[in-house]
Structure 1
């Protein structure tokens, strides 16, 4: 199975004409299919120590994971936002991500408080794939989830006034945000 480049959504550009062919039957996506999609999206990726695909950005990492077996297999796109926030800002963060979660379908974002007292955010979208899914649906959902993960980071920077921190090269707690292994 391969991905037709014209099936990758082009948000903001002109959409290609649909093919005259009928829809393809359901496929059970796998890591090779996700790699093809990431290659066609021209996104760099690595395979981590647990065998999951990860696409790194400057301030976050997006993982493409398959969990479960058989009919219960789930495909998850999970983004770990590396920007640390002080525990004192958690209330403001929760208000912001609640607003995001009410307004958008994905990624659903939640917080994680680390042992050192910093708070980081995680976004996630999931799809049941074990019984098969239309290839077009899988591709368009995955692309949309990646783009929404990027948009969330931009939105949060705007909501919390983090542009000043980004422009000055500082995070709110002085950490360079080099990331930690949150997976």
Structure 2
């Protein structure tokens, strides 16, 4: 079932979004993201599945395109590498609930591995299949990367992991080796 865009009410009398620039919306792709990461001076790699990843000391941020044509989604997903025990999961969930209530992105959640290790993941996504304004794509992607970094700092503070993080604050984002 699909929703007819014309059936969605226009609340507040706001004008319909106009195409950006003379060429209108763009269809972002991996090359556009690479250009953006280069401009941000972030190192990146392409993994075995063809996704872009920017590695940091304690996490990796992936820039992924999923779906077909008009349903394609661009997702910035960050995998935080600090392992947590299964007994810590209630405390983690409480912290994540607090983060998710207070912020727009990244939405953070847990993943429990078969060995009982719990890791954190942050994610933000946008529908891009019909095209998006270049300025919106760029500003959203940059904001999501910055928020992923801020989340790492925040969770370290919330969980009292400062001892694990000593010396990491001087690292420039993307300086970690892949």
Deviations 1:46-83 (A, max 9, x none): 00000000000000000000001110000000000000
Q: Which runs of 5+ in 1 are unaligned?
A: 1-21, 170-183
Match of 1:148 in 2: 147
Q: What SS does the aligned partner of 1:26 have?
A: coil
- Change in 2 beyond 3 A, CA 1:168/1:126: closer
TM-score by structure 1 length? 0.78
In the alignment, the residues of structure 2 paired with residue 104 and residue 168 of structure 1 have an alpha-carbon distance, to the nearest angstrom, of 27
Q: What SS does the aligned partner of 2:121 have?
A: strand
Deviation, structure 1 residue 89: 0.5
1:52-63 to structure 2, matched below 5 A, reads 52-63=51-62
Deviation, structure 1 residue 168: 9.8
Runs of 4+ aligned structure 1 residues displaced above 6 Å come to none
Match of 1:35 in 2: 34
Match of 2:174 in 1: none
- Alignment coverage as a number of residue pairs: 148
Q: What's the RMSD between the two structures over aligned residues?
A: 1.5
1:18-167 to structure 2, matched below 5 A, reads 23-24=20-21, 25-167=24-166
